[in-house]
Amino acid sequence: MSATPTTFSFGMIGLGTMGRNLLLNLADHDFAVAGYDKDASKVSLLAEEGAGKPVQGFSTLPEFVDSLHTPRSIMMLVPAGKIVDSVIEELRPLLAPGDIIIDGGNSHFTDTDRRAAALEAAGFHFFGMGVSGGEEGARFGPSMMPGGDKEAYQVVQPMFEAIAARVEGEPCVTYIGPGAAGHFVKMVHNGIEYGLMQLIAETYGLLKNGLGLDNAAIGQVFTQWNNGRLQSFLLDITKDIFAFQAPNTDHLLLDDIKDEARSKGTGKWTSQVAMDLELPVPTIDTAVALRDLSKYKVLREQLATLYGPAPTPLAVEHAAFLTSLEQAFFFNMVITYAQGMQLLAKASKEYSYGLQLAEIAKIWRGGCIIRSSFLNDIFNAFQQAPQLEHLLLDERVRDLVTQAVPGARTVVAAAVAAGLAVPAYATSLSYFDTLRTARMPSNLIQAQRDYFGAHTYELIGHEGVFHTQWTPAHEDAANKQDTQEGPENKSEQPVIPNK
């Protein structure tokens, strides 16, 4: 194929790191591709890195659009929000009915639904696609989650399957489902990512402040874990971080980085949607909250002085505690994935996505940020039982959790006793213990709600809802009302079941 074809089969708007690397990935697989960016320096960088490949950059949108053969397939990789709408509005007059627009950014799924409806009404095809893997994944093989217009996806499917990461010879891309399913799944992926990153950070804190290990020893722990059942992309990069020195120094760059974590909002979206669906994901919620808490650096420093002394070292035998810590991290990792998968199952029913959880776990095994060895267990669990309500119901997962939970209890107990903060560790354990509680104390909450707000309650073994007047004065008034109004109102009074 010529390095400078007269027409291109695929176009990319946004030549930042992700967009440029995806284009180069496509060009490596002999697809003729074009890119557009208002920033001329990014266009020049594409030309430099794509020298000798079937790729060309453009600085004007009409010229870019005209370079694509019809029906055109154009992907956007621009920041989520108003910029996406702005790009679409600028693009629409240049397109013809039947052209395909793909949003590959981290758009909120409700925005994707809105855009799809508007573009479909105008005669265009549109779908949203989550892309995970970061800079390296985009260049050499990402995990991709397309959803929406299936007919449009099938047009570009050969391209995406060619450039996707591969596990056991299969591409890490699959059609997710209708509507905004692709962006919804990517959002939950990012929520899981938040949870796992918070767990790793808390582990770092325990190793550093609890056991007093130096950076070299901490890096060795993460390296050892990454060679075992905890193998994952996030642990892999963590071990690398613990080997990277600041330029022209004798210490790690990590030690120079301010302890304030930023975010782009996708973790928060996961928590918000989960609350809307009344589905608890407390480990993810905690991870979002701790990123926010980290930003209050000055306040934390003031309170550290006011409420000293500092936390004490863990009163434990190091080797035994490290064994427990590995178990605890594994347990917490399972819980984090389980919360995300249950949210996907609930959303699939609520939004009629028809999600295939086994297929989602399958494409997450390679290319994406949350890839890990444990995803094979998740894939097997949902392949065997596609309608599995919760990952913890799987027999294999049950055995793994049962073996790991003693370590989780040991770590949380020791950390709390020493005054070391482990919010995600503790939240995951409490979530697990609550989830396996057949009778929660929530009956008291219902009694309280009925007491102060007449919100009613239900009774064990009886149909209907009930309300009680809980104070003597109210009871006298209620009895008088019953006498005057007859038996038809007695259904509002409690029926106490026989014991």
pLDDT tens digits for 10-53? 999 999 999 999 999 999 999 999 999 999 999 999 999 999 99
Question: Residues 363-380: what's their mean pLDDT?
Answer: 97
pLDDT above 70: residue 488: no
Spatial distance between the Cα atoms of 374 and 125, rounded to a whole number of angstroms: 36
Query: Residue 383 CA to chain centroid, in angstroms?
Result: 21
The predicted pLDDT at position 478 comes to: 52
Of 95 and 479, the structure prediction assigns the larger pLDDT to 95
Q: Which tokens hold the place of 44? A: 């020049």
Q: Say what the pTM is.
A: 0.92
CATH topology of domain 442-492: 1.20.5
Domain 10-179: state its class: alpha beta
Q: What is the pLDDT of residue 3?
A: 46
Q: What is the pLDDT of residue 158?
A: 96
Please state the domain extents for the chain: 10-179, 186-435, 442-492
Q: Is the pLDDT of residue 423 over 50?
A: yes
- Do 10-179 and 186-435 have matching folds? no
Q: How far apart are CA 56 and CA 448, in angstroms?
A: 67
Give the SS3 label for residue 356: coil
Question: Is the per-residue pLDDT at 445 higher than 50?
Answer: yes
pLDDT at residue 2, as a whole number: 39
pLDDT score recorded for residue 309: 74
Q: What is the pLDDT of residues 212-264, one digit of tens each?
A: 999 999 999 999 999 999 999 999 999 999 999 999 999 999 999 999 998 88
Q: Are 175 and 359 in contact (CB under 8 A)?
A: no
CA atoms within 13 A on the CB side of 58: 19
Percent of the chain with pLDDT over 70: 93
> Any idea what DSSP says for residue 132?
E
| Pairing verdict, β 33-36 and 10-13 | parallel
Whole-angstrom distance, CA of residue 270 vs CA of residue 188? 6
Residues taking part in catalysis: 186, 193
- Whether the pLDDT of residue 288 is over 60: the answer is yes
Handedness of CA 208, 231, 136, 247 (dihedral sign): positive
Q: Quick one: 186-435 is in which CATH superfamily?
A: N-(1-d-carboxylethyl)-l-norvaline Dehydrogenase; domain 2 (1.10.1040.10)
